Amino acid sequence: MPESKLLIKPAVKSLSWLRKIGYKKPLGNSLIRYGIKIKNIDTKPFSGATIKNISISSAEGKTAHLTSEKEFKVETLNPDEEILIWFEDTFIPFSGLVFINLELDGKDKILACQWDRGNKSPSKGDANKWSDIVIISDENILQQKTTNALLVILTILTILFKI
């Protein structure tokens, strides 16, 4: 059975109202858009596949688990060709380390590699399965940081105008 080698990276985009004021990191307890970037890192064209059994789960042992019943077609990819596929917009009820998992179903065996951030190269992949971790920021911590910064500014202004 022929084998294809793909590099797959997670793509997560915040749809929170805080994005409008410049905070673009995905936040827990808010709306996100998630998907993947797929690049053919093989020397021959990739014949295509179907992405299915997509799920998002907490890597920190929290019980929340989101699944998608949708399936997505990946068309033929030439060597070094890259595509971005957005799966869906969803409310994510947790924050921290989050797994994105999926299965690939194609005519060929598909070696789905992660990007090794330490070595800056593709890691050894699994056959017809892919999983990677993304970080979802905690909205409460962000709000606390914002409140603390505003309190510091208010304190400085109070001291300056008293003088």
Its pTM surpasses 0.85:
no
CA 100 to chain centre: 7
**For domain 3-138, which CATH number applies: 3.30.300.30, 3.10.580.10, 3.30.470.20, 2.60.40.10?**
2.60.40.10
pLDDT confidence of residue 133: 87
How does pLDDT run across 80-93, given as a tens digit for each residue? 999 999 999 888 88
pLDDT digit string, tens, across residues 105-117: 988 899 898 887 7
* 1 neighbors 109 (Cβ within 8 angstroms): yes
Each residue's pLDDT tens digit, 11-40: 988 887 766 666 677 777 778 889 999 999
